[in-house]
Amino acid sequence: MNAFLIIVPLVGAALAAVWPGNRTRPWLLPAVGLVHAVLTLWLFVDPPTVAPTAWLGFDPLARAVLPAVSLLFLVCAAYGVSYLKVRSERPNRVFVALLLAVLGLLSAGHQARHLGLLWIATEAVTLAAVPLLHFNGTPRAFEATWKYLLVGGTGIALSLLGSFCLGYASLHGGGEGDLTFVALTAQGAGLSRPWVLTAWVLLLVGYGTKMGLAPMHTWKPDAYGEAPGIVGAILAGGVTTVAFTAILRVRAVIGAAGEGAIADRTLLVIGLFSMLVAALFLLGTRDFKRMLAYSSVEHMGILSLGAALGGAGVAAALFHVWTNGLTKGALFLSAGNIRRAAGSASMDEVRGMSILTPRSAAIFVTGMFAVTALPPFGPFFSELQIVRAGLASGHGAAIAMFLGCLLFAFFGLTRVVFGIVDGRPRTAARANGKRFVETAGVIVPPLLLLCLSLWLGLFCPATLREAWSAAVAQLFPTP
Amino acid sequence: MSGGTLNLFIGLAMGLNLLALGSSRLPSLIRAVSLQGVLLGVMPLLLEHDTFDWRVVLVALATMVGKGLVIPGLLRRAMRAANVEREMAPFISYVPSLLLGAGGTIAAVALARGLPLLPEHAGTLLVPGAIASMLTGFILLIGRAKAISQVCGYLILENGIYLFGLLLIHSTPLLVESGILLDVTVGVFVIGIIVDRIQRAFDSLDTRKLTTLRE
């Protein structure tokens, strides 16, 4: 049953690759997205029992995050239909097929219970995303793609090395080198300590590159800045999530090996460093799509910090995966509209968008407030939960720094957002903006994501909270 | 006796690292990478001596064809299309990178002695070979300006990881290994295509021209 989450999108991708009509092909996106979402919901409500030796399984951790990715994809897919209609001059065969392939591979990565399989799935997602990044075909887009490939490729190579090191830790500790997480956790303290620590460093750097934690975040502003908004939304809400769950799964093994304290300390430091770097760059950037990338780096830092704070922190981080993914999706999609209407992404050339694209600008501003933790939107509550977890576990100084970075990020974001929204539009932009019509197809999806963020803040259902605590129970088993 | 042959092959691969670091001409760099790929492909056969497993043979063959023929062929095509033969003015020039590589190789051998290894792996050059190749790959990635040289660096880095992965060949199921091999091949293939596109978009393969995107 859970295998269909992988098979359906991949079959959809194959279908898209042979589908003849450029105009009708994009409808495959919402069709497959809907099937995927229904299947995920079904599995969420009625979770299957996972055999402990299974390589793939809809286990509590997958149950806690995969629905968010599926939901985000479905809304983005609906946006994709209108987006590709606007971009009808470009062939979309590769774009649609690979977007669907990304969904299938993400489902595989989230459900992977084997270190090697997890690596294969994440690497495949990285590669499948490459043509999505240079969909616009500009020299800038190719430059961004090249940087993404080099930095991402090196990161993914290091995580493969880390996976091998963890396997060798098992061999050296007298185990059989079985790379399923269950077997590695069961071996626990029997894993060879030096190899476990080497593996942790390499895996954190490797998957941290994929997540976009500083200082391995350098690909992110370029890639998010040049890719279409829909791709940015799925990368920031889905691909980074699979890397985060990878780190959580590895962290559980390291914890079982008795090195949890060291792992938590590194996660804390790298999380705060990412937040700091992001906040500083947010104060300097003049490009509103790159701004979203730095904001994403900041939120990856928040996730990493949450993961360092023990069980309550991990539950809060899983909550934040949902709130950040959905809110960031609204921001990316509305920013895509604004970028298309304005013809540029730099605040030196763009202003007065509240006149040219009033609806997108309203969503963009509201989304910005939501993502900077304005109540009653979701991110406020997830970040509050992280603050609580931090204070309860005695990390007062870290929480103070966390709040300081949030404040600076708020300054940076408002500076750019109001810079492009306020004022009088330029004459050149006026002509360009007239050609872009804010149809329901490009307005409803980001609005819906914003509503979902509000819903998570105000009426977060008890089943979701229960799913997050079940995932925590899987990661921190009580003997 | 196969341990001795294996060490000979790894030693040759380490020599090719130095050749790659010292060559200024792209064809000889690509040739070094291609030869290293073939050597790496033979190694699983040397490790698997007591039982004959056709899947190991398959992985070996796929490695030889992928790393030895397909990828270098792709790089040669990109090189001809871009009409570049030489790496002009690298960030780290040849003598310093050779010295770095040689020093790194010695350090790798010394470091591997200090690492806790199983007795059956302590006698082989697998771990020093892996560390030296990864280091070589990094030097090429950082120190060269042409996109093709950087791809070669990435390949040598991957080769180093592959060498390390040979330690686990008895314990990891081959499904995982072939998946990894497939991913790596596709990865380099994608990189090759992007190199081609960069060449068309910028009319050059000099990555120093890729500087539009910055703060």
What is the tens place of the pLDDT at every residue in A100-112? 999 999 999 999 9
Paired with B86 in beta bridges are B25
pLDDT score recorded for residue B83: 76
Least Cα separation, residue B173 to chain A (angstroms): 9
Inter-chain CB proximity A117 and B187 less than 8 Å? no
pLDDT score recorded for residue A70: 97
Which range, of A189-198, A353-362, A386-395, A432-441, averages the lowest pLDDT? A432-441
| pLDDT higher than 60, residue B178 | yes
The structural domain count of chain B equals 1
Q: Is residue A50 part of a domain?
A: no
- Check whether the bond before A67 is cis (ω within 30° of 0): no
Inter-chain CB proximity A161 and B210 less than 8 Å? no
Q: What is the average pLDDT score of chain B?
A: 84
| pLDDT higher than 80, residue A421 | yes
Residue A364 near residue A332 (C-beta atoms within 8 A):
no
Token pair recorded at residue A328: 């960031």
| pLDDT higher than 80, residue B109 | yes
Separation of alpha carbons A80 and A88, rounded Å: 12
pLDDT score recorded for residue A432: 66
Q: Is residue A100 part of a domain?
A: no
B 116-175 residues with CB < 8 A to A: 116-118, 134, 141, 147, 150, 154, 157-158, 161, 164-165, 167-168, 170-172
Mean pLDDT of A183-203: 93
Q: What is the pLDDT of residues A294-313, one digit of tens each?
A: 999 999 999 999 999 989 99
Residue A179: phi, psi to the nearest 5? -95, 10
pLDDT score recorded for residue A433: 61
Mean pLDDT of A337-358: 89
pLDDT score recorded for residue B20: 93
| pLDDT higher than 60, residue A94 | yes
Inter-chain CB proximity A161 and B161 less than 8 Å? yes
Q: Where are the alpha helices (DSSP H) in A89-213?
A: 93-111, 115-128, 130-133, 139-172, 181-187, 193-211
Q: Is residue A78 part of a domain?
A: no
Residue A320 near residue A386 (C-beta atoms within 8 A):
yes
Most A CBs within 10 Å: which of B135, B176, B202, B203, as the mutation test of the A interface?
B176
The single residue listed with the structure tokens 């075909």 is A137
Report which of A378, A403, A376 is spatially closest to residue A388, judged by C-alpha positions.
A403
Domain residues for A457? 136-475
Chain A residue with Cα closest to B196? A142
Q: What percent of chain B has pLDDT over 70?
A: 93
Q: Is residue B214 part of a domain?
A: no
Mean pLDDT of B110-120: 87
Token pair recorded at residue B74: 């792709």
Question: Nearest Cβ partner of B165 from A142, A143, A164?
Answer: A164
Mean pLDDT of A278-301: 95
Q: Is residue A379 part of a domain?
A: yes
Separation of alpha carbons A120 and A44, rounded Å: 25
pLDDT score recorded for residue B1: 42
Q: What is the pLDDT of residues B46-102, one digit of tens each?
A: 876 666 677 778 888 888 888 888 888 888 887 887 777 777 678 888 899 999 999
Q: What is the pLDDT of residues A438-447, one digit of tens each?
A: 899 999 999 9
Residue A187 near residue B191 (C-beta atoms within 8 A):
no
Q: What is the pLDDT of residues A369-417, one digit of tens each?
A: 999 999 899 999 999 999 999 999 999 999 999 999 999 999 999 999 9
Inter-chain CB proximity B172 and A179 less than 8 Å? yes
pLDDT score recorded for residue A372: 94
- What percent helix, strand, coil does chain A show, rounded to 5? 80, 0, 20
Residue B188 near residue B159 (C-beta atoms within 8 A):
no
| pLDDT higher than 50, residue B137 | yes
Q: Is residue B215 part of a domain?
A: no
pLDDT score recorded for residue B99: 94
Q: What percent of chain A has pLDDT over 70?
A: 98
Mean pLDDT of A442-461: 95
Q: Is residue A306 part of a domain?
A: yes
| pLDDT higher than 80, residue B205 | no
Domain residues for B101? 2-207
Q: What is the pLDDT of residues A226-236, one digit of tens each?
A: 999 999 999 99
Which range, of A15-19, A61-65, A187-191, averages the lowest pLDDT? A187-191
Q: Is the ipTM of this complex over 0.85?
A: yes
- DSSP code per residue over A301-355: HHHHHHHTTHHHHHHHHHHHHHHHHHHHHHHHHHHHHHHHHHS--BTTT---HHH
The structural domain count of chain A equals 1
pLDDT score recorded for residue B63: 85
Inter-chain CB proximity B183 and A123 less than 8 Å? yes
Q: Is residue A53 part of a domain?
A: no
Q: What is the pLDDT of residues A22-53, one digit of tens each?
A: 999 999 999 999 999 999 999 999 999 998 88
